[in-house]
Amino acid sequence: MKLRNQTQPAEFFLLGFSEDPALQPLIFALFLSMYLVTVSGNLLIVLAILSDTNLHTPMYFFLSNLSLVDICFITTTVPKMLVNIQMQSQAISYASCITQMFFFIIFAGLDDFLLAVMAYDRFVAICDPLHYVVIMTPWLCVKLVLLCWVIGVLHALLNSLLVLILSFCTHVEIPHFFCEINQVVHSACSDTFLNDIMMYFAAVLLAGCPLALILYSYSMIVSSIRVISSKQGKYKAFSTCASHLLSISLFYGTSLGVYLSTTTAPNSTSTATASVMYTVVTPMLNPFIYSLRNTDMKRAIKRLLLHK
């Protein structure tokens, strides 16, 4: 079949959730509210950790990085959607689409990697507490975060370069509220075999390996908790992991559900709705997850808000 146009289009069209004009104000208000809650909540976590010297530990260092990544993660997608709704437009330029996709891949990967690093931190703290300070040095923590950034950027760069060599037809409609790589690739008019191989390889290696590390860490943590004799000791050990486990369940449960569903219905607009769970809802809930049951965090936030 002959392609209609081998040149790159000037713009793509993000179909979003609904084209019904009556629903647009509701969608705008809902996502603006979630965006503001996410940014303010995660920023509050970061400022509370920076302002309280008692929270200058590896666990809270990784948490502050996760909060910063969550702010960037949601900022990559939601503001553009809000602007489009306000301007009653579905258009996004080709360059903006590729840029949005690039940063989305980076921050999605960073969320993935940081959750794995935090699992390793909890593994060392519970399974080898006597050597925790020796192992989890500040320099090691910085190197682990830098490694997450390097892998994330290289992964995003490679995927973006592979998308740049694709040819698109003149009118490209993406059934999503942002330029998600799977949707962009499958909107191309040229062969996407190399892109598909790369996406599957990345899913197995860059999502599977962190998940395997998380599962291994928590299997060892559970084994260590089981041998603790006192109920109070078991509860204390488990409580340090509960928030992290909930965050992992939200992120992996929703993201894996979305990407498994795209294999059966890659162009379904229901995928966009499901993606809201890990792109918007999970970053919004993380500040509540990590602060509501954490006495030290609640104390630090209270001090910050009261300027004491």
> What's the rounded mean pLDDT across residues 127-156?
95
Q: Are 2 and 190 in contact (CB under 8 A)?
A: no
How many alpha carbons fall within 13 Å on the CB side of residue 300?
A: 21
Q: Which residue in 247, 248, 251, 259 sits closest to 214, CA to CA? A: 248
- pLDDT higher than 80, residue 9: no
Expressed in angstroms, the distance from the first to the final Cα of the chain is 69
Give the percent of the chain with pLDDT over 90: 52
Specify the 3-state DSSP secondary structure of 11.
strand
Q: Are 184 and 174 in contact (CB under 8 A)?
A: yes
pLDDT category at 3 given cuts 50, 70, 90 is: very low
- Which pLDDT score is estimated for 1? 38
For residues 263 and 4, the model is more confident at 263
- Which pLDDT score is estimated for 120? 95
Mean pLDDT computed over every residue of the chain: 87
Distance (Å, whole) CA 221 – CA 123: 6
CA-CA distances (angstroms) from residue 223 to 127, 163, 226? 9, 45, 5
Per-residue pLDDT tens digits for 261-281: 655 555 556 677 778 888 999
Give the percent of the chain with pLDDT over 70: 92
DSSP secondary structure string, 230-273?
Answer: SHHHHHHHHHHHHHHHHHHHHHHHHHHHHHHHHHH-TT-THHHH
Q: Which residue in 125, 49, 116, 128 sits closest to 294, CA to CA? A: 49
Distance (Å, whole) CA 188 – CA 275: 21
For residue 268, give both structure tokens: 């379904």
Domains in the chain: boundaries: 11-306
DSSP secondary structure string, 46-74?
Answer: HHHHHH-GGG-SHHHHHHHHHHHHHHHHH
- Which pLDDT score is estimated for 199? 87
pLDDT category at 69 given cuts 50, 70, 90 is: very high
Distance (Å, whole) CA 275 – CA 270: 9
- Which pLDDT score is estimated for 102? 96
- Which pLDDT score is estimated for 5? 44
Give per-residue burial for 182-221: e unless 16+ CB within 10 Å, then b.
bbbbebbbeebeebeebbeebeeebbeebbebbeebbeeb
pLDDT category at 4 given cuts 50, 70, 90 is: very low
Distance (Å, whole) CA 3 – CA 217: 50
E-strand stretches of the chain = 11-14, 91-93, 172-174
Specify the 3-state DSSP secondary structure of 12.
strand
For residues 79 and 182, the model is more confident at 79
Per-residue pLDDT tens digits for 182-221: 889 988 888 889 998 988 888 888 888 999 999 999 999 9
> What's the rounded mean pLDDT across residues 16-39?
91
pLDDT category at 116 given cuts 50, 70, 90 is: very high
For residues 250 and 228, the model is more confident at 250
- Which pLDDT score is estimated for 268? 58
> What's the rounded mean pLDDT across residues 92-103?
94
Lowest mean pLDDT segment, chosen from 5-9, 223-227, 236-240, 304-308? 5-9
CATH code of the domain made up of 11-306 = 1.20.1070.10
E-strand stretches of 27-163 = 91-93
Residue with tokens 């705008």: 28
- Which pLDDT score is estimated for 270? 65
Residue 206: DSSP 8-state: I
Q: Are 210 and 113 in contact (CB under 8 A)?
A: yes
